[in-house]
Structure formats: structure tokens, C-alpha cells
Structure 1
Amino acid sequence: MTDDDTPLLSRKVIAGAIVFAGIVAIAVFILVSPVAAVATFVLALIMALITLTDLKHFIIPNALSFPAVPLGIIANIAVFHADDWTAGLTESLLGAVLAGGSFYLLRAVWFRLRRYEGLGLGDVKLAAVAGAWLGPALLPTACLTAALAGLAGVAVMAILPGRRIDMTDQIPFGSFIAPVVLVFWVLRLLEPVSFW
């Protein structure tokens, strides 16, 4: 909710996000376990809502990012480390701390050098979500992919007629991070699947 208690997204958009998450989960269910499909549904729903909210309002609500970290830990344990929950817990916590800490450090350095925020705290929290779901091994590639997607988005904005890009323009970076987290989660799930 915003300060005036109006919803950030309409019911139609939320319903669309639920349908999207259901489609992703059903597509994955064909190839993976039911537990992995449920985890994918939860992640797809959260990432869709974060993407749409950040695109429209330039914020990532705590109501979405805070529960996504423990859900990522649970999903990582249930899907990839059911036989050794401590390994899954360690992997998720390490990923969350590394990603969230790196993004926070980048945010602090940028502010120190430029005297304005170049990265929001919502993006820092979303990075921690990414780490909890993906673990540390996939983080460098996922972060690079999100950054390249963000740069491509800025390039498209720059070539639009009548549009001028300035260093202080806001970019909904969470809208690039969130889809990448979902894609890398699905790739992680499908890694052991043989298609031929």
C-alpha cells in the first residue's frame, strides 16, 4: 500500500500476475517435481508483482521482498537440498548476504562519490532475494544479465523520439532484476533435465 492506502496495482494486474505464475508453474511441472513447481509458482508470482510495481511506481514493496528471502531459503532446501537442509540453508544465506551486501556497498559507494542515490534500497533487498533463491554460484551471471538488460532498456529509452537520458533519470532496475531471478531459477531447475 502507498501512504494514502491506495493499492499499488489493480486487481486485474494482480490477477494477471497470478495467471502468469500459474502458467510458468504448469510449464515447469511437466519436467520437475511438484515441490519445485509450487516453489516456481511462488517465485513467479512475487517476481511478476515486483516487476509491475517497480515499473509503475519505482518502488519494490517490503511486503513482497521481505517474505521472499525466507521463502527462497525454504525453496532452496526443499528442491535442491532435501537430504541435507544445512547445506541449503548455508547456500541461501550466503547468497542473500553476498548479493544484498554487494548491492548495498555499490549503493553506498555511488552515494559517496556522486551525492545522490543511484540504487534504491528495494533493489538491495531484491538482490538478497535473488541470493536466497539462486545461491552464490549463479549470482555473478544473474547480476550481469540484469545489468545488461537494464542497459539495453536505457538504450531503448535513449533512442525514443523526444527522449533525453540524464544521469539522474530513474530506472526501475528491479524490473530487470526480478525477471532474471525467475529465469535463472528455472534454468537451475532444468539443468539436470535432458531434452534429447
Structure 2
Amino acid sequence: MITGMGLFAALVAISVIDIRTRRIPDLLSLSLMCAGLIQAAWAVQRGAAPTVLTDSIIGAASGYLVFAAIGAAFFRMRGQEGLGLGDAKLLAAAGAWLGWQMLPAVVLIAALGGLAQMAVAGRLWPARAADRSLAFGPWLALAFFSLWILTAR
């Protein structure tokens, strides 16, 4: 219960900051990642399968590396940032908490949420459709927390 409240509070803070500044603070995302790894190690200590910690480590590493690579490729192709390292660190935190197996679901849910936001915004404010910037952190946070609630291991 307390773990969930802490996770929720950190994800809300990340979302608000990302919406306002288009930045995700390292202090919050990296703290979440460490907390997820610690939680997995603690679960193993309490008798969970050793793969829980392995899945969390792989989740954190692959979450970061996949988004960092996508962001770097987009920057090379377009010359502007499209997916920042803050999003990569937040996905790494999700991987630490949920394990690598849940990362595709996190990305899918977040992408569908962001796509829906852009579609609705384009319909309601067509004059602003040229500004296609989107704070993706809140969508990652929503997907992360929703899946954590559903799978709480």
C-alpha cells in the first residue's frame, strides 16, 4: 500500500513537471528505477523466484536502451529532439518495477494515449495542430502505474 502511494506520488510529480517543462527530472526517474530494483531484490529475499530480480534488471536496461536508441535515431534523421532521455529513464523505471516482459504493453498503452491526445487536440484546436509537441511522460506514467496495479507482484 505504501509502496503504491509512493509510486503514484512520484509518477504524478513526473507528469506535472513534464507537462509544464517538457523535462523529466533525473532525481525522480532514477530514484524510481532504483526503488524498483530494490523492491525486486527484496521480493527475492522473501522467497520470490530469482528471475524476478533478473527480469527487473533486464527491464531497466532494455527500457532505457530502446528509447535512447529511438531518440538518437530521430535526432539524427530530423535534427531535433523527439524522444528525450527523460522518457528513456522513465521507461527504465517501469522496466525495473514491472520486468522486461511488460515493457511492450507500457509503450503500447502510452503511445495509444498520446495518439488519442493528438487526435482530439487536432480536432478541437486545428490552428494549433502545427505544434505537435507532446509530453509523453504522463502517458508513460499512466501506463506504468496502471500495469503495476494490475500485476502488483
Query: Structure 2 length as normaliser, TM-score?
Result: 0.90
Q: Aligned runs of 1:10-25 on 2, under 5 Å?
A: none
Q: Give 1:61 deviation, angstroms.
A: 0.9
Are residues 1:50 and 2:14 paired?
yes
What pairs with 1:40-189 in structure 2 (closer than 5 Å)?
40-79=4-43, 82-84=46-48, 86-166=50-130, 169-189=132-152
Q: Could you say which structure has the greater relative contact order, defined with CA pairs below 8 angstroms and 6 or more residues apart?
A: 2
How many residue pairs align between the two structures?
A: 153
Q: Distance in 1 between matches of 2:54 and 2:34?
A: 12
Secondary structure, counterpart of 2:128 in structure 1: coil
Contact persistence 2:71–2:84 (CA under 8 A): yes
Q: Does the CA-based 8 Å contact 2:107-2:140 persist in structure 1? A: yes
Residues 107 and 117 of structure 1 are in contact (CA less than 8 Å); yes or no, is this contact kept in structure 2?
yes
Q: CA deviation at 1:161?
A: 3.3
In 2, distance between residues paired with 1:161 and 1:186? 34
Code of the residue aligned with 2:106 in structure 1: it is A
Q: Greater helix share, 1 or 2?
A: 2
Kindly indicate whether the alpha-carbon contact (under 8 Å) linking 1:59 and 1:122 is maintained by their aligned counterparts in 2: yes
Change (3 A) 1:151 1:61: same
Q: Deviations over 1:73-95 (max 9, x none)?
A: 12234357731574332111100
Deviations 1:118-174 (A, max 9, x none): 1111111111111111101111111111011011111111112353323x6321000
Q: Deviations over 1:75-118 (max 9, x none)?
A: 23435773157433211110011111100110011111111111
- Matches of 1:75 and 1:163, distance apart in 2: 47
Q: Runs of 4+ in structure 1 displaced over 4 angstroms?
A: none
**TM-score normalized by structure 1?**
0.72
CA distance in structure 2 between the aligned counterparts of 1:82 and 1:55, rounded to whole angstroms: 38
Unaligned runs of 5+ in 2: none
Q: Sequence identity, in percent?
A: 35
